[in-house]
Structure 1
Amino acid sequence: MQISKLAAFLSIAIATTGLSACGGGGGSSSSGPAQPPVSNGPTWQPGVYASEASLVARCASPRSGVDPFTGQAYPDQAGSSLEEKLWLRSWTNNTYLWYDEVDDNNPANYSVLGYFDQLKTSATTPSGTPKDNFHFYQPTDEYDELTQTGVSSGYGVDWEFVQNTAPRELIVRFTEPGSPARLAGIPRGASVKTVDGIDFVNTTSDAEIDALNAALFPEDNGTTTRFVFTLVDGEELTVDVTSADIDVSPVQNVQVLDTPAGRTGYFQFNTFIRTAQPDLIDAFDLFVDENVTELVIDLRYNGGGLLALASQVSYMIAGPNQTNNAIFETTQFNDKSPNIDPVTGNVIRPTPFYDSEIDYNAGYLLNTLLPSLSLTRVFVLTTESTCSASESVMNALRGIDVEVVQIGSSTCGKPYGFYPTDNCGTTYFSIQFQGVNNKGFGDYADGFFPSESPNYDYELPGCTVADDFSQALGDPNEGMFSAALGYMATGACPEPVAPAPVSPDALSRKVAESSRAIINPNALRERLILQNKINEPVIKGRE
Structure 2
Amino acid sequence: MKVSTLRMALLIMISIGGVNGCGGSGSSNTNDKSVSPTTPLAPETSQGITWEPGVFEGASNFAGRCATPRSGVDPFTGASYPDVEGSAFEEKMWMRSWTNNTYLWYDEVDDNNPADFTVASYFAQLKTNGVTPSGSAKDNFHFSQSTDEYNTLAQTGVTASYGFSWEFISSVPPRQLLVRYTEPNSPAALAGVPRGASLLRVNNVDFVNNNTQEGVDALNQALFPSQSGETAVFEFALIDGSTLNVTLTSQDIVVSPVQNVTVIDGAAGKTGYFQFNTFIRTAQSELIASFNTFIDENITELVIDLRYNGGGLLALASQLSYMVAGPNQTNNMAFETLQFNDKHPEVDPITGVEIQPTPFYQYEIDYAAGLLTNTLLPSVSLTKLYVITTGTTCSASEAVINALRGINLEVVQIGTPTCGKPYGFYPTDNCGTTYFSIQFQGVNEKGFGDYADGFIPSSSPSFEYEVPGCIVPDDFSHALGDVNEGMLFAALAHASTGACPATTLAGNAFERAAGQHKDGLSIKRPDALKSSIFLQNKILVPINAPK
Q: Normalising by structure 2, what TM-score?
A: 0.89
Q: Which residue of 1 aligns with 2:296?
A: 289
Q: Which consecutive unaligned segments of at least 5 residues does structure 2 have?
A: 1-7, 11-44, 508-514
Letter in 1 for 2:62: L
Letter in 2 for 1:232: I
Give the alignment partner of residue 92 of structure 2, picking from 85, 89, 92.
Answer: 85
Count of aligned pairs between the two proteins:
498
Separation in 1 of the partners of 2:530 and 2:306? 20
Q: Tell me how far 1:259 sits from its aligned partner.
A: 1.3
Tell me, what secondary structure is at the counterpart of 1:201? coil
Aligned equivalent of 1:74, options 81, 102, 106: 81
Q: Which of 448, 461, 468 is residue 455 of structure 2 equivalent to?
A: 448
Cross-structure match for 2:225: 218
SS at match of 2:63: coil
1:23 maps to which residue? none
Of the three residues 370, 379, 382, the one matched with 2:377 is 370
**Aligned partner of 1:516 among 521, 526, 532:** 521
The answer to whether the aligner puts 1:541 opposite 2:545 as a matched pair is yes
The within-5 A match list for 1:220-259 is 220-259=227-266
Task: State the SS of the aligned residue for 2:151.
Answer: helix
* Cα deviation code 1:253-294 (max 9, x no counterpart): 001111111111000000001111110110011111111111
Does 2:148 correspond to 1:132?
no
Q: Report what 1:315 is aligned to.
A: 322
1:170 maps to a residue whose letter is: L
Q: How does 1:181-192 map to 2 (within 5 A)?
A: 181-192=188-199
2:531 equivalent to 1:526: yes
- What is the distance in 1 between the residues matched to 2:537 and 2:221? 26
Report the Cα offset of residue 497 of structure 1: 6.0
TM-aligned CA deviation for residue 403 of structure 1: 0.4
- Alpha-carbon distance between aligned partners in 1 of 2:46 and 2:68, rounded to the nearest angstrom: 21
Matched, 1:434 2:441: yes
2:184 counterpart residue number: 177
Question: Which residue in the other structure is 1:99 paired with?
Answer: 106
Specify which of 355, 358, 363 is matched with residue 356 of structure 1. Answer: 363
Corresponding position of 2:420: 413
1:459 equivalent in structure 2 = 466
Residues 332, 513 of structure 1: CA spacing in aligned structure 2 closer, same or farther, 3 A cutoff? closer
**3-state SS of 1:496 partner:** helix
Contact 1:449 1:459 in 2 (8 A): yes
Q: Deviations over 1:445-498 (max 9, x none)?
A: 000000111111001110000000000001111000000000000011112369
Q: 1:51 aligns with which of 54, 58, 63?
A: 58
Unmatched segments (≥5 aa) in structure 1: 4-37, 501-509
Most deviating of 214-223 and 319-328:
214-223
Amino acid at match of 1:254: V
Query: Structure 1 residues 176 and 39, CA, compared in 2 at 3 Å: closer, same or farther?
Result: closer
Question: In structure 1, how many angstroms separate the alpha carbons of the residues matched to 2:156 and 2:382?
Answer: 32
Q: Report the Cα distance in structure 2 between the residues aligned to 1:39 and 1:325, rounded to whole angstroms.
A: 52
Alpha-carbon shift at residue 234 of structure 1 (Å): 1.2
Determine the C-alpha separation between the residues in 2 that align with 1:48 and 1:497.
55
Which amino acid counterpart does residue 287 of structure 1 have in structure 2? Answer: F
1:373–1:214 CA distance, 2 compared to 1 (3 A): same
8 Å CA contact 1:166, 1:512 repeated in 2: no
| Contact 1:444 1:458 survives alignment (8 Å) | yes
| C-alpha distance in structure 2 between counterparts of 1:76 and 1:526, whole Å | 25
Contact preservation (8 Å) 1:152, 1:246? yes
Match in the other structure for 1:385: 392
Aligned match of 2:151: 144
Q: Counterparts of 2:517 and 2:375 in 1: how far apart (Å)? A: 59
Distance, in Å, in 2 between the alignment partners of 1:514 and 1:229 is 24
Q: CA offsets, 1:315-368, max 9 Å, x none?
A: 000000000000000000000000011111111111000000000111110000
The amino acid of 1:378's aligned partner reads: L
Q: Tell me which amino acid in the other structure corresponds to 2:364.
A: E
Amino acid at match of 1:516: L
Find 1:60's aligned residue among 67, 79, 84.
Answer: 67
Q: Which amino acid aligns with 2:544?
A: K
Post-superposition shift, 1:542? Answer: 2.0
Q: Which amino acid aligns with 2:57?
A: A
Measure, in 2, the Cα distance between the counterparts of 1:238 and 1:173: 18
Aligned residue type for 1:515: G
Higher relative contact order (CA 8 A, sep 6+): 2
Query: Whole-Å Cα distance in 2 between the matches of residues 295 and 363 of structure 1?
Result: 29
Is residue 330 of structure 2 the alignment partner of residue 330 of structure 1? no
Q: CA deviation at 1:522?
A: 7.9
**Greater radius of gyration (CA):** 1
Q: Are the equivalent residues in 2 in contact too, given 1:303–1:527 (CA < 8 A)?
A: no
Q: Which amino acid aligns with 1:227?
A: F
Moved more, 526-535 or 144-153: 526-535
Shift of 1:523: 5.7
For the aligned residue pairs, the C-alpha RMSD in angstroms reads 1.9
CA distance in 2, matches of 1:255, 1:499: 29
Kept after mapping to 2: 8 A contact 1:136/1:525: no
1:121 aligns with 2:128: yes
TM-score by length of 1: 0.89
Q: Which residue identity lines up with residue 157 of structure 2 in the other structure? A: G
1:26-41 to 2 correspondences below 5 Å: 40-41=47-48
In structure 2, give the amino acid aligned to 1:118: Q
